[in-house]
């Protein structure tokens, strides 16, 4: 008996067909006449953005911020530059603006991390354990460094380190030149290294 | 292990997996997509009429802006000057339009190259905007419905631009104008909607700039400064009287204004239209000489079919004297993805018929 004609639910990730995937920009263009097409972008990126926001602000407000991000993206979709095939930088740009509204609680979160245990998952995959030792030792220092960074520098640093964006993508996300991305990233990393104990004066002034 | 690796490790530790309740946010998005959510913020609120128009416009190109400005209020009177100079109408008209007081449906074709006024001779003209404007009998408002240019429709048999017959075919709605000019566009719209088109107006792109200049500029308000490389527009925040070139840049602007939650480009265009309409109305009352220049500029950018005579258009213009620019409503034909080609759209028959029935029968 043949029963294989049931389609997966719309938007469900389907393994093995990445090449058949419609570009984000095409989805956005389609959403101009068929607004529901925008939901496919949600299915693609909501989880990723949730994880990112949960890192910066914790899980409490992350859900709302992800929801607001997509609403803002939806209402601004006519402005989207369709030459940008990948919508991630655009979405991260919106997320960054929304996270910025909570910069005080973000800084407080990092400050709290200087003293308290990590409030994340209690156990991770085995391959994390080795690195975990160093990270655990460095965590209070890293948190202190993050708490002390100016917001703009922190945005750039975390879009690179936690958002996995390339420099050009960070530039797109924040609407700033790539050179500015580099200089903010360098400045932020210098401060992080300084807190970690790397006080090489050459680097300091580089 | 460098500082970035350490940071990545910290990030993984801090990360939380999305909960199942994240689906609520997806539902929120879909609600917005269906237009059931609150209207976008901003002082411009279109009044709700008896007709339920789609709340969120779907696709408004620059031509949409030009065409709507044109059709909704301004160019209809503007056309009364034809291609010539400013002449006061003196001869009473025998044209049925002159006495017409009922509802009026105007098809506006925004073309990137205007068909020659006399002979309809431009061969490469494409219609980038198709807009059906309905003026109810009381002329207190105007309703504009845009047709997405990739809407798949049955194009009826038409006379081609070369004079030869073109058989009926299925195609994108904007192909009708390319194939058979304004008459084919009109025939296609009439066949699709069942709405009788009284007048077809073909608008030229470049005329927009000229019209703004002729009005002496149009006021806009910028919430934030604009410095846009793509269009070359640089303005501080605040209120400005923009001239033609700046106005064109402003309505085309895609980047550098506000953030993701601010007014969309479409809303900006519609605001601009409303501002332009207001300006035109003021000018008409306060500066007749300037208004005449404006009309003349506008008239050079449009052609009407059938050709309306001066008295008919003057009468129409007068009848629209009481129309409030804020009472112009905009909408888009409801569409769904085409079953055989998801990259294109077909109309949502039921919802669309609802809309057009109101155009056919509405006062």
CATH code of the domain covering residue B117: 3.30.420.590
Q: What does the pLDDT look like over B333-348, one tens digit per residue?
A: 777 777 776 666 788 8
Name the residue facing A76 among B3, B8, B260 (closest C-beta): B260
Maximum mean pLDDT: which of A50-54, B129-133, B251-255, B312-316: A50-54
A78 in reach of chain B (CB within 8 A)? yes
Residue B292 has pLDDT above 60, yes or no: yes
- Which has more pLDDT, B37 or A33? A33
- Which element (helix H / strand E) includes B317? helix B310-319
For residue B238, give the 3-state DSSP assignment. Answer: strand
A131 in reach of chain B (CB within 8 A)? yes
* pLDDT at site A117: 52
* pLDDT at site B26: 86
Q: CB within 8 A of B316, min separation 6: which ones?
A: B76, B77, B80, B97, B100, B104, B308
Minimal C-alpha gap between A115 and chain B (Å): 14
Q: What does the pLDDT look like over B252-274, one tens digit per residue?
A: 665 555 443 234 555 676 677 77
Average predicted confidence (pLDDT) for chain B? 68
Q: Are A170 and A186 in contact (CB under 8 A)?
A: no
Residue B288 has pLDDT above 80, yes or no: no
Residue B70 has pLDDT above 50, yes or no: no
Confidence of residue A33 (pLDDT cuts 50, 70, 90): confident
- Do the domain assignments include residue B41? no
Residue B51 has pLDDT above 50, yes or no: no
Determine whether the interchain pair A33/B148 forms a contact, defined as Cβ–Cβ distance below 8 Å. yes
Minimal C-alpha gap between B237 and chain A (Å): 18
Residue B251 has pLDDT above 60, yes or no: yes
* pLDDT at site A72: 92
A120 in reach of chain B (CB within 8 A)? yes
Residue of B nearest to A79 (CA): B254
In which residue are the tokens 């932020």 written? A188
Residue of A nearest to B147 (CA): A33
Domain span at residue B322 reads 62-207+302-361
Phi, psi of B215 (to 5 degrees): -80, -5
- Which element (helix H / strand E) includes B166? strand B165-166
Longest dimension (CA), chain B: 90
Q: Residue A36's Cα: distance from chain center in Å?
A: 24
Residue of A42, A79, A158, A167 for testing the chain B interface, max B β-carbons within 10 Å: A79
* pLDDT at site B346: 81
Confidence of residue B317 (pLDDT cuts 50, 70, 90): low
Average pLDDT over residues A72-91: 92
Confidence of residue B226 (pLDDT cuts 50, 70, 90): confident
Phi, psi of B142 (to 5 degrees): -145, 145
- Which has more pLDDT, A196 or B268? A196
What would the two tokens of residue B152 be?
A: 């798949």
- Which element (helix H / strand E) includes B111? strand B104-111
- Between CA B62 and CA B264, with CA B276 as vertex, the angle to 5 degrees is 45
Alpha carbons A11 and A39: distance in angstroms, whole number = 8
Average pLDDT over residues A184-205: 74
Alpha carbons B322 and B281: distance in angstroms, whole number = 10
* pLDDT at site A161: 95
Collect all residues of chain A within an 8 Å Cβ-Cβ radius of residue B260: 69, 72-73, 75-76, 93-94, 97
Q: What does the pLDDT look like over A125-170, one tens digit per residue?
A: 444 444 444 556 788 889 999 999 999 999 999 999 999 999 999 9
Determine whether the interchain pair A71/B261 forms a contact, defined as Cβ–Cβ distance below 8 Å. yes
* pLDDT at site B275: 82
Determine whether the interchain pair B10/A72 forms a contact, defined as Cβ–Cβ distance below 8 Å. no
Q: Are A47 and A70 in contact (CB under 8 A)?
A: no
Q: Are B343 and A33 in contact (CB under 8 A)?
A: no
- Do the domain assignments include residue B47? no
Query: Any bridge partners for residue B107, and if so which?
Result: B132, B200
* pLDDT at site B18: 86
Enumerate the CATH 1.10.1740.10 domain ranges in chain A, comma separated: 22-101
Name the residue facing B59 among A33, A80, A193 (closest C-beta): A33
Determine whether the interchain pair B28/A67 forms a contact, defined as Cβ–Cβ distance below 8 Å. yes
CATH of domain A22-101: 1.10.1740.10
- Which element (helix H / strand E) includes B240? strand B238-242
- Do the domain assignments include residue B119? yes
Alpha carbons B191 and B156: distance in angstroms, whole number = 7
For residue A51, give the 3-state DSSP assignment. Answer: helix
Q: What does the pLDDT look like over A174-190, one tens digit per residue?
A: 999 999 999 999 999 99
Minimal C-alpha gap between B261 and chain A (Å): 5
Residue A2 has pLDDT above 70, yes or no: no
Residue B200 has pLDDT above 50, yes or no: yes
* pLDDT at site B204: 63
DSSP code of residue B329: E
- Which has more pLDDT, B235 or B42? B235
Q: Are A192 and B7 in contact (CB under 8 A)?
A: yes
- Do the domain assignments include residue B261? no
* pLDDT at site A200: 45
- Do the domain assignments include residue B51? no
Collect all residues of chain B within an 8 Å Cβ-Cβ radius of residue A70: 25, 28-29
Name the residue facing B264 among A75, A81, A162 (closest C-beta): A75
- Do the domain assignments include residue B34? no
CA-closest candidate to residue B265, choices A82, A175, A96, A34: A82
- Between CA B327 and CA B333, with CA B328 as vertex, the angle to 5 degrees is 135
Average pLDDT over residues B205-228: 81
A119 in reach of chain B (CB within 8 A)? yes
Please state the domain count of chain B. 1
CATH of domain A133-206: 1.10.10.10
Q: Is the ipTM of this complex over 0.90?
A: no
- Which has more pLDDT, B129 or B30? B30
- Do the domain assignments include residue B37? no
Minimal C-alpha gap between B77 and chain A (Å): 31
* pLDDT at site B122: 40
Of all residues in chain B, what percent carry a pLDDT higher than 70? Answer: 58
């Amino acid at each position: 008996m043949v029963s294989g004609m049931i389609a997966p639910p719309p938007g469900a990730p389907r393994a093995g067909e990445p090449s058949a995937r419609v570009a984000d920009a095409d989805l956005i263009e389609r959403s101009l006449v068929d607004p529901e097409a925008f939901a496919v972008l949600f299915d693609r990126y909501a989880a990723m953005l949730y994880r990112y926001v949960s890192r910066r602000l914790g899980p409490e407000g992350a859900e709302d911020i992800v929801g607001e991000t997509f609403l803002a993206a939806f209402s601004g979709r006519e402005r989207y530059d369709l030459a940008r095939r990948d919508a991630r930088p655009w979405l991260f740009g919106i997320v960054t603006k929304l996270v910025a509204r909570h910069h005080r609680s973000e800084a407080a979160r990092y400050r709290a991390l200087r003293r308290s245990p990590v409030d994340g998952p209690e156990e991770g995959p085995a391959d994390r354990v080795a690195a975990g030792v160093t990270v655990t030792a460095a965590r209070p220092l890293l948190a202190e460094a993050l708490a002390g960074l100016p917001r703009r520098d922190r945005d750039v640093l975390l879009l690179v380190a936690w958002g996995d964006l390339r420099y050009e993508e960070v530039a797109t996300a924040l609407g700033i030149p790539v050179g500015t991305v580099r200089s903010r990233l360098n400045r932020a990393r210098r401060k992080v290294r300084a807190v970690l104990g790397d006080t090489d004066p050459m680097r300091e002034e580089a | 292990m460098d500082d970035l690796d350490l940071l990545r490790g910290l990030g993984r530790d801090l990360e939380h997996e999305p909960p199942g309740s994240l689906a609520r946010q997806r539902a929120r998005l879909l609600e917005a997509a269906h237009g059931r959510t609150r209207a976008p913020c901003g002082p411009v609120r279109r009044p709700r009429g008896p007709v339920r128009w789609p709340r969120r416009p779907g696709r408004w190109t620059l031509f949409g802006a030009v065409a709507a400005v044109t059709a909704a209020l301004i160019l209809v009177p503007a056309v009364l000057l034809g291609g010539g100079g400013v002449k006061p109408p003196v001869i009473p008209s025998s044209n049925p339009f002159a006495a017409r007081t009922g509802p009026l449906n105007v098809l506006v074709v925004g073309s990137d190259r205007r068909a020659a006024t006399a002979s309809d001779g431009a061969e490469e003209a494409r219609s980038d905007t198709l807009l059906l404007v309905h003026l109810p009998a009381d002329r207190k408002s105007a309703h504009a419905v845009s047709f997405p240019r990739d809407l798949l429709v049955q194009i009826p048999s038409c006379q081609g631009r070369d004079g030869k017959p073109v058989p009926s075919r299925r195609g994108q709605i904007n192909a009708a104008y390319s194939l058979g000019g304004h008459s084919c566009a009109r025939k296609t719209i009439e066949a699709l909607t069942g709405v009788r088109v009284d007048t077809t107006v073909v608008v030229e792109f470049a005329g927009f700039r000229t019209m703004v200049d002729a009005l002496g500029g149009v006021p806009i308000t910028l919430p934030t400064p604009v410095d846009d490389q793509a269009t070359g527009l640089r303005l501080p925040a605040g209120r400005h009287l923009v001239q033609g070139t700046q106005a064109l840049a402003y309505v085309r602007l895609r980047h550098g204004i506000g953030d993701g939650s601010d007014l969309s480009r479409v809303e900006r265009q519609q605001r601009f239209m409303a501002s332009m309409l207001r300006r035109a109305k003021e000018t008409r009352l306060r500066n007749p000489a300037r208004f005449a220049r404006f009309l003349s500029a506008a008239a050079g950018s449009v052609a009407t079919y059938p050709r309306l005579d001066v008295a008919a258009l003057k009468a129409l213009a007068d009848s629209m004297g009481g129309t409030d620019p804020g009472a112009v409503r905009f909408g888009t034909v409801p569409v769904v993805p085409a079953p055989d080609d998801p990259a294109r759209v077909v109309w949502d028959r039921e919802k669309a018929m609802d809309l057009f029935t109101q155009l056919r029968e509405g006062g």
